[in-house]
Amino acid sequence: MTTVAMLTHVDEAVGGLVDEVAREHGHTCRTVRPYRGEAFPSLDEIGAVVALGGPQAAYEDHPYLAAEERFLADAFDAGLPVLAICLGSQILARALGGSAWPGDAGLEAGIIRVRPPATAATGVEGEFFSFHSDSMTPPPGAEILAESDRYVQAWTLETALAIQFHPEMTLDGVQDLLAVEGPKLERFGVDVAAVRAEAERYFAIGARDSRALLERWFHDIAPARSRN
């Protein structure tokens, strides 16, 4: 069994499919809330890290975000598998020498389709729930695995996998998000009813692409190992 440090950035955050698939593979998730001042675990206490999303921007000047960057860099240097989602992917990009920035293609909200770049030998493809307006530049040496028609969506570097979309989301999670953000989205011209209907369709057929991505990652993670 691997203990997975799951970094969250909001009080309401739940692991969703991340927690569900982890348990199915015999792993356990240990929630850490850096924004509350909770201490990061020692690397010898965990076997992998998942960094979830949140409303913050990775480039904001918060001490806990800087501390999270250092923790993710240390976990990567120790050879731990790291899965970073949305805000987490942007923090990880900065931690490993890339950058995060306000997206120049606007808000990306709802079920989107992602595909590998034309030059990629392999990659990530399918439908996923997305909700973000910031973006990232992957670190040097990273391989881009997926793009949408707006943004880079996934990249990998050694033991790190960063994804901009939200494979952890459940229908309840989407409904809760839209209940909070819906009025603001409507003011920006987003058809919230259409987003909700697409999410209901996606989860009614089992969120297959999200589950498959997480199944592969949790199948592959191994106990911590040091690089020599």
Is residue 226 a part of any domain in this protein? no
Is residue 110 a part of any domain in this protein? yes
CB 112 within 8 Å of CB 130? yes
Is residue 168 a part of any domain in this protein? yes
For helices 171-187 and 192-204, angle between their N-to-C axes, nearest 10 degrees: 160
CB 137 within 8 Å of CB 98? yes
Q: How confident is the model at residue 108 (pLDDT cuts 50, 70, 90)?
A: very high
Q: How confident is the model at residue 13 (pLDDT cuts 50, 70, 90)?
A: low
Is residue 225 a part of any domain in this protein? no
pLDDT > 90? residue 40: yes
Q: Which CATH number fits the domain that encloses residue 78?
A: 3.40.50.880
pLDDT > 70? residue 227: no
Is residue 136 a part of any domain in this protein? yes
* pTM of the predicted protein model: 0.93
Mean predicted confidence (pLDDT) in 126-148: 95
pLDDT over 70, % of the chain = 96
Is residue 228 a part of any domain in this protein? no
Range of the domain at 182: 3-220
Q: What is the pLDDT of residues 137-147, one digit of tens each?
A: 999 999 999 99
Mean predicted confidence (pLDDT) in 51-64: 95
| 3-state SS assignment for residue 178 | helix
Longest dimension (CA), the chain: 53
Question: How many structural domains are present in the chain?
Answer: 1
Is residue 143 a part of any domain in this protein? yes
Is residue 29 a part of any domain in this protein? yes
Mean predicted confidence (pLDDT) in 118-140: 92
pLDDT of residue 14: 72
